[in-house]
Chain A
Amino acid sequence: EPEVTQTPSHQVTQMGQEVILRCVPISNHLYFYWYRQILGQKVEFLVSFYNNEISEKSEIFDDQFSVERPDGSNFTLKIRSTKLEDSAMYFCASRTGDRVLDEQFFGPGTRLTVL
């Protein structure tokens, strides 16, 4: 069964460093998402991506964040200059089609630790 994959599973970085989190969505999916979950808090929407552009972003997704689909398979989240408060679990999700009730399939997450 196809699934969303994410790499790395755990990333440790120093404050101020750039990180790139990688996701491979399911191959025939058209909509892509990043969510994050700070330890002990809710899963929060960061950004959605469709047709090679951001379709919606949250207040969290400021200028330090960017997303890219550099080729036909990868979907990346870049944090330019990490802060302590960026430490969280980052989930990628994807879905197919344009029906709002289509399921979003989630990856296993990348745990980002900023020291």
Chain B
Amino acid sequence: AQSVSQHNHHVILSEAASLELGCNYSYGGTVNLFWYVQYPGQHLQLLLKYFSGDPLVKGIKGFEAEFIKSKFSFNLRKPSVQWSDTAEYFCAVIPLSGGYNKLIFGAGTRLAVHP
């Protein structure tokens, strides 16, 4: 079955530390890949997306993600986190052979950044 795995459920970092959140998907065909963020009390917002081309994708707020096709991975990174990055982060996939583009989400990673 199609699934998305996020390796860390909770991550605690100090400000200025580097961040890497893992995401793997199980789907053999072509996919579009997304990272969404949900700040406390707010909507799910798109951080970045990958559909083709350069496998290193830059998003908002200094985030980037690298698509490694051979590893079925799309890890999210940020070189130096801030307290305001405290949020829940969701990796998601749209398999392109599917119908009308439903997002398949990972379980989410809750990030807490301490000042």
Contacts and interface: CB of A to CB of B under 8 A. Distances in A.
Interface residues on A, range: 20 to 34
Contacts of B106: 42
B100 A55 contact: yes
Contacts of A104: 46, 101, 103
B105 A43 contact: yes
Contacts of A42: 105-108
Contacts, number: 60
Contact of A31 (B44, B100, B108): B100
A56 B94 CA distance: 13
Contacts of A4: 43
B12 interface: no
B104 A103 contact: no
A67 B93 CA distance: 24
A106 B101 contact: no
Interface of B: 32, 36, 42-46, 49, 51, 90, 92, 94, 96, 98-108
